[in-house]
Structure 1
């Protein structure tokens, strides 16, 4: 097996893992107060990760999505900043507490950043069957 074949195989495996991860992210959002927004975002990222194994994804599309997600994440940055300045950061991984909206806002901010990173990964050379 050549180095290019190993790279392609690794990228395909990573894309399948990303696909599964974002499908799970999307499914978890179904009980969110605004499930349509988050299910659509994560579902779209999942589909792009899967399709990237078989088809070249236009870079302009990836850049538009990256820019859109970054712009959307700006609205959640104040929540992330609030969370960043508290002492008990482990609360982020606990239950949603309505008196602490920065927890959900921070989760959403971080989810958007993970989505952006997945799209940036797709900007690398495309993988084909």
Structure 2
């Protein structure tokens, strides 16, 4: 059974929309809601129309570029013993936890847009 690209895009739209809604309780919710909502819109739009290749490349570059601000915190996280802490609550004494979550979220968002680029038929 092959899942259509349109179905995958609708699933991605729902997932990134949920990611956006979950961000509403964050102190910096406007930034993260906007990022995930933009990716959700890209996914749902791509289910019906083709976005310009350059636009998708620029969005991916922006997401990866922004993720670089959190890369050092992600490296800090990789060096701790208790990796499961990433699933806990925010601890202000451990900024690498939130930074790692944000780094990984940006990578997931970039992958969602990369899917749109890879499925193009040009």
Gaps of 5+ in 1: 1-5
Q: Give aligned pairs, total.
A: 121
C-alpha distance after superposition, 1:17-58 (max 9, x if no partner): 110110011001111111111111000000000011111111
In the TM superposition, residue 14 of structure 1 has moved relative to its aligned partner by 1.1
Q: Distance in 1 between matches of 2:119 and 2:63?
A: 22
Deviation at 1:125, TM superposition (A): 3.4
Give the structure 1 partner of residue 75 of structure 2.
81
CA contact (8 A) 1:53 1:126 kept: no
Which consecutive aligned stretches of 4+ in structure 1 deviate over 6 angstroms post-superposition?
Answer: none
Q: Determine whether 1:60 maps to 2:62.
A: no
Q: Does residue 1:123 correspond to 2:117, yes or no?
A: yes
Q: Which residue of 2 aligns with 1:43?
A: 37
TM-score, L = length of structure 1: 0.89
Gaps of 5+ in 2: none
- Secondary structure at the residue paired with 1:56? coil
Name the Cα RMSD after superposition: 1.5
**Structure 1 range deviating more: 9-18 or 38-47:** 9-18
CA contact 1:91–1:103 (8 Å) conserved in 2: yes
